[in-house]
Amino acid sequence: MNCNGKMIMKRNAFIMKLKEGCAAEYRRRHEQIWPELMNKYSDYGIRDYTIFLDEKTLTLFAVRQVSDDYRGERLSDDELIRQWWDYNAGLMECNADNSPISQTLEEVFHVD
C-alpha cells in the first residue's frame, strides 16, 4: 500500500500455448469459469485478468493487474487452482504439475 492506504497495482503479462484443436474448448471452459476460482484469484492479489488468443499461433497472451500483496508463488499450494490446472491440462502445454507453461513478458511501454 502507498502512504495514502491505497493498494498499489502493477500490470503482469505472460504468454502460454494451446494445443492444436483446443481453442474452442478453451474458450468454452473460460466462458463457464468457476465463480469460486475467480474469488481465489482475488484472494491471491490478482485483478482485472484478461486472456487473448492468437488463433494462428495458438499463443495465449494474458495480462492482469496484481496487487502489492500478490502471492503468485503460492498458487500451486491451492487445491482449487490445482483442480483448474488439471481440468485444462489436456488443452495446453503444461509443466509436470499441470500448471500452464508460461513465459513472463517485460513491459516496455504503457500509456493511460
Give Cα separations from 49 to 1, 21, 84 (angstroms).
20, 24, 16
Q: Distance (Å, rounded) from C-alpha 83 to C-alpha 61?
A: 22
Give catalytic status of residue 110 as yes or no: no
Percent pLDDT > 90 in the chain is: 80
What is the average pLDDT value for the chain, to the nearest integer? 92
Which among 11, 27, 30, 74 is annotated as catalytic?
A: 30
CATH topology of domain 9-91: Alpha-Beta Plaits (3.30.70)
Q: Distance (Å, rounded) from C-alpha 112 to C-alpha 102?
A: 26
**Residues 18-52 pLDDT 10s:** 999 999 999 999 999 999 999 999 999 999 999 99
Domain boundaries, the chain: 9-91
> Which pTM value belongs to this model?
0.87
Mean pLDDT for the stretch of residues 47-76: 93
- What is the reported pLDDT for 4? 57
Sheet containing 46-54: which strands, arranged edge to edge? Answer: 46-54, 59-67, 9-17, 103-105
